[in-house]
Amino acid sequence: MSRLFVRIWLTFWVVLGATFVAALAFSYAVAVGRAQDIDRLSPRAMGQAGAQALATGGEEGLRLWLLGEHNRYPELKAYVVDPTGRELSGRRPEEVAAALRTSLPGARFPAEADEAVAGRTYRFVFQRTRSLAFDLWDVLLQPWALLVLVVAISGAASALLSRHLTRPIQRLQAGARAMAAGDLQDPIGSDLTARRDELGILARDFDHMAGRLRELIAARDALLRDVSHELRAPLARLRAASELVRLKAGGPDGPLFARIEDEVERLDELIGQILRFSRLQAPLPLTISQVDLVALMEGAVEDARLEASVAGKQVLFEMAGPAVAAADPRLLRSAVENILRNAVRFTPTGGAVVATLEARAGAARIQVADGGPGVPSEELAHIFEPFHGEGTGAGLGLAITERVARLHGGSVSAANRAGGGLAVTLSLPTGDGACGYLPPRQRGRR
């Protein structure tokens, strides 16, 4: 449950609770005021008014007066008894006697007054049927039950309203995270973009932004592919021309020719990496098989040793036991080679690169540690980004490795070693069906 949901929920709940308390206080104030008004009534004055109505209108006038008094004060009940003992409103004499015996706490009623009308004495009896406590009880309609009902209803209504407001925001947040992770295929969802309120407008803006990013990334990848292909042909001609010039010069020796060949090789390798990286950005099927990670590591380490031996460096391999993963062997071998090549490059002459392989529950862990200068801590989070910090060796090679790891449901990380150097760790799932390509929306968000 998000903090925004809780905040909105509690806010609405407190507002509804405060409204209920205010209504209760108002009802209580009305009940108190009405009780005070009734307590200020004079039984003598009301009796005189009733006698006047009887004198002027007879029993019909008396009934009209009784009806008016009942409408003004429903809490009071009036009885009128003539000299013969008959109750003029139709009630039995026993009711009059019972009314005089009924007394409510704190009330000045029941009360009686004798009034003379045409030489005859009439008895007016006034009984209060409700006290203040009973009035308040009647307003609450069983207060504890009503309180529980109000709390339950207001809490449920507040929760539904909060969910209605926060769920689209959570969807937008998840969409933003998916976009940050590279999933630009409909990150929000059509049900949210179809809304006609401000949240729907925001969702449509998100989708528009994702579409625009897809176009820009597609244009970038196309440009990388086109430029790489266009550069391959001039490089091939340059290499051929360099070879011809060297042959015409009378021999293969010469530092300038060696330098030209080195630069041509470096450019050719960079162009190859650009092409591989651009292919990995587009959805592609993986050729999944059960890969013996020990054999794969031994082959990659052996190739790295050939390159390292020329510069007087070593590449060591340690393993904790057999490990097998469902993966594309070609892409996985490329990812491991990129890590090893980067480590060899920055290990000083006479130093050693140590590659380790260990299998844990459900995962295989490949780590390559070099003896180089390491990477500034603020740069560690960026070394797997393409073309970031070319002087640190964190160009396209590690970016390709990171992409291959994600395609296989794994991850790659880097950390500076305590004794100096950089350790790059590639983690792969080893469970059945753990690896394999799915389009981003089917893989789920990680």
pLDDT of 436 reads 36
How is 245-304 classified by DSSP, letter by letter?
HHHHTTSS--HHHHHHHHHHHHHHHHHHHHHHHHHHHS------EEEEHHHHHHHHHHHH
For 126, list phi and psi in degrees, rounded to 5.
-120, 125
pLDDT bin (cut points 50, 70, 90) of residue 96 is confident
- Is the pLDDT assigned to residue 180 strictly greater than 90? no
Residue 146 pLDDT class (50, 70, 90 cuts): low
% the chain with pLDDT above 90: 11
pLDDT value of residue 3 = 65
Q: What is the mean pLDDT of the chain?
A: 76
Beta-strand relationship, 314-319 and 352-360: parallel
> What pLDDT is stored for residue 376 in this prediction?
86
Report whether pLDDT(440) > 50.
no
Compare 199 and 435 and report the one with higher pLDDT. Answer: 199
Full set of structural domains in the chain with CATH: 41-134 (3.30.450), 181-282 (1.10.287.130), 289-443 (3.30.565.10)
Mean of pLDDT values over 397-419: 86
5-19, 211-225, 254-268, 296-310: least confident range: 254-268
pLDDT for residue 424: 93
Highest mean predicted confidence (pLDDT) among 25-39, 203-217, 289-303: 289-303
Residue 118 backbone zone (phi > 0: left; psi -120 to 50: alpha; other: beta): left
Q: Using pLDDT thresholds of 50, 70 and 90, give the confidence band for residue 444.
A: very low
Q: In whole angstroms, give the CA distance from residue 104 to residue 278.
A: 92
Count Cα neighbours of 92 within 13 Å in the Cβ-side half-sphere.
3
Say whether pLDDT at 391 is over 60: no
pLDDT the model gives residue 435: 40
Per-residue pLDDT reduced to its tens digit, 1-40? 556 567 677 777 777 777 777 777 666 777 677 777 777 8
Sign of CA dihedral 400, 405, 411, 414: negative
Q: How confident is the model at residue 297 (pLDDT cuts 50, 70, 90)?
A: very high
pLDDT band at 437 (very low <50, low <70, confident <90, very high): very low
Confidence bin at 75 (pLDDT 50/70/90): confident
* Maximum alpha-carbon separation in the chain: 158
Q: How confident is the model at residue 251 (pLDDT cuts 50, 70, 90)?
A: low
| pTM as predicted | 0.45
Q: Report the share of the chain in percent with pLDDT over 70.
A: 69
Q: What is the pLDDT of residue 373?
A: 86
pLDDT at 439: 34
Question: What is the per-residue pLDDT for 17?
Answer: 73
* pLDDT for the residue 316: 93
Dump the DSSP string for 66-97. HHHHHHH-TTEEEEEE-TTS-BTTS--HHHHH
- Lowest model confidence (mean pLDDT) among 102-111, 144-153, 236-245: 144-153
| Close Cβ partners of 117 (under 8 Å, ≥ 6 residues apart) | 51, 54, 55
Angle of CA points 256, 391, 238, to nearest 5°: 35
In terms of Cα–Cα distance, which of 333, 296, 319 is closest to 367?
A: 319
- In whole angstroms, give the CA distance from residue 26 to residue 38: 18
